[in-house]
Amino acid sequence: MFLRPFCAVLGGLSLLLGAQLAQAAEVNLYTTREPALVKPLLDRFTEQTGTVVNTVFVQGGLAERLAAEGARSPADVAMVVDVGNLMELVDRNLSQPVESAALSAAVPAGLRAPDGRWFALSTRARAIYASRERISEADAARLTYEDLADPRFKGRVCIRSGQHPYNTALFSFLLVKHGESWLRDYLTALKGNLARRASGGDREVARDILAGLCDVGVANTYYVGLMLSGRGGDEQRRWGQAIRTVLPASGTMVNLSGAVVARHAPNRAEAVKLLEFLVSPEAQQLYAEANFEYPVRPDAALHPIVAGFGTLAVGDVPLPEIAAQRVRASRIVDEVGFDQ
């Protein structure tokens, strides 16, 4: 008679302890990436580990939010797009160093901080789009970013805003390569070659090439995958079919998506496990297949569409240097009135 209530109490304590343990198996992710793009990865992580990922989508001002929350922040991992956004987290002391053999083995040295304060998870190339109808394959293959300012492309170039982070990063890359005076002259000449005001998005560059408004432009590679795969519908598939995707052999500028373990992460161990999963062979394959991005793991296979772009010869400007020059590049964009 005595054992029955005792067992009931013991069972209740076990259930309570189990619930507490289950509750502890969680990780809080702040991300600027569209939730639909990362959900398959996070769902798979939960399936494998049992750790629940609580995702907070932050459209803008992620660093400001972390700084305002301070030591009370629930964030364990911050995931962002663009090297400048990633470096801002580090520069504002919003990340912490991580030592992980799995991360060091999977992520090449140039795509992670030596002290483990940031890690790239995928990369995307800033490519040149060229008209299949009006630019030959041989001529397209020789194109460089520098060529787009050449007088032969007068009135033939389309590009989104010069102040968009994708272009600010590209102009920072060129600033490091050639210097401030050169970049000012380049942007002035490039503006003079525009077929329309610098505006819209990357996919609209392909749209306007199909329409005959322009012959060349600058845009990210993964948009081509989204268009050619049909995910944007038949109309966007036609946009993608109208262009050649050129990776400048002289050195292609790549940007990244990346992550840090937040400085005050309450679930640090789970945060490290999440980063380790995101660079695992399975997750890297999901990046390639779902988002048409370049995996950071050298042994991960590319999506066939991305592989069809040819060999990616990455420019020799380190990503932190690109991030460090963004403010100067942005200032020059305004000085020449590039978006006006």
- Tokens found for residue 125: 């190339």
Q: How far is CA 262 from the centre of its chain?
A: 18
- Tokens found for residue 289: 């297949």
- Tokens found for residue 48: 């494998």
Helix (H/G/I), strand (E/B), else coil: 158: strand
The residues facing 220 across adjacent strands are 126
HSE-up (13 A, CA, CB side) for residue 216: 27
The answer to whether the CB of 169 falls within 8 A of the CB of 82 is yes
Q: How far is CA 1 from the centre of its chain?
A: 64
Going by DSSP bridges, is the β-strand pair 26-31/77-81 parallel, antiparallel, or unpaired? Answer: parallel
The answer to whether the CB of 255 falls within 8 A of the CB of 169 is yes
Is 166 within any annotated ligand binding site?
no
Is 222 within any annotated ligand binding site?
yes
Binding residues for Fe cation: 222-223
Binding residues: 222-223
